[in-house]
Amino acid sequence: MKLVCPFTFSVSEFNLVEPRLERVKFLLRKFYSLNSKFHKIKLITDIKSHTILDFIKFDEVEYIDTEFFNYVDDFKIYLLQRLQKEEIIVDFDVYLQKPLIIDLNYDLVIERYEERFAERIYKALINDCRVVFDKSYFNEIRNLDKVPNIGILKINNSKLLKKYTTLYTKMSIQFRDKAIIQDVPYSQYSVLFGQLLLRKILNEESYSSYSCKENTLNKFIHFNGNNKYLMNQVDIERRLYKTEILE
């Protein structure tokens, strides 16, 4: 299994500011040094981002045009439609302690289903959103206590892939256009389209899903969220040896 790591500064320019930039470089170096013990690693990025990253080493590097991405998860939508059978998308802040075990017989492979407390976070994100839009669409989505986290992602069912990527593209562009008219930042709402829309599809149709976390043979840590930029480097090094999810 080959891990495909998408990364670009084009939708996360805030990461270009020090000391955050140095932390990004540190995390990416750790991603390769730890995960390459178990799998081949392919970085997909753009030449500008890779230059800023001092051409950090990976087994493979592929350059694409990322200027048309509006949200972080646009990158995953782009890659999902182009992955080879032996490839899987893995975020740059996911660190393996054992080889990643997945089952390609499932329609959907995700990192995990989020815990019950996440429901509050999603509802607050929707209700406090500065962009004026029809919130009822998202408020009607059930099972917010079991939203798929796509830090690890692969779709093996062509019907699901088409439905998800089509719905994501339609909804995210509509939201972007409203935000631009209202002169409101919008890229931080990527999770609404990347994860909540996937939950909506799983509610409406019967697809099989595989959670990497639920397989007890998998051992990894995910520094998802902004906490990885606030922790000191020593603490990150120490916690890389623990199998827990950091919120």
Please check whether residues 20 and 43 belong to one and the same domain.
yes
Any residues with CB less than 8 A from the CB of 81 and at least 6 apart, and which? Answer: 161, 165
Please check whether residues 24 and 84 belong to one and the same domain.
yes
**pTM across the whole model:** 0.93
Instruction: Determine if the peptide bond prior to 19 is cis (ω within 30°).
Output: yes
pLDDT per residue over 141-192, tens digit each? 998 889 999 999 999 999 999 999 999 999 999 999 999 999 999 999 999 9
Is residue 107 in some structural domain? no
Write out the residue range of the structural domain in which residue 171 sits. 115-147+156-207
Question: For residue 111, is pLDDT > 70?
Answer: yes
Task: Classify each residue of 184-206 as buried b or exposed e, where b means 16 or more C-beta atoms within 10 Å of its C-beta.
Answer: eebbebbbbbbbbbbbbbbeeee
The packing angle between helices 158-182 and 197-204, to 10°, is: 140
Residue tagged 């930042």 (tokens): 185
> What are the start-end ranges of the E strands in 7-147?
40-45, 60-63, 87-90, 94-96, 108-113
Would you state the pLDDT for residue 29?
A: 95
pLDDT per residue over 84-100, tens digit each? 999 999 999 999 999 99
Question: For residue 247, is pLDDT > 70?
Answer: no
Would you state the pLDDT for residue 242?
A: 62
Please check whether residues 72 and 133 belong to one and the same domain.
no
* Domains contained in the chain, number: 2
Please check whether residues 125 and 41 belong to one and the same domain.
no
Residue tagged 């996911």 (tokens): 94
**Distance of alpha carbon 58 from alpha carbon 63, whole angstroms:** 13
Please check whether residues 70 and 121 belong to one and the same domain.
no
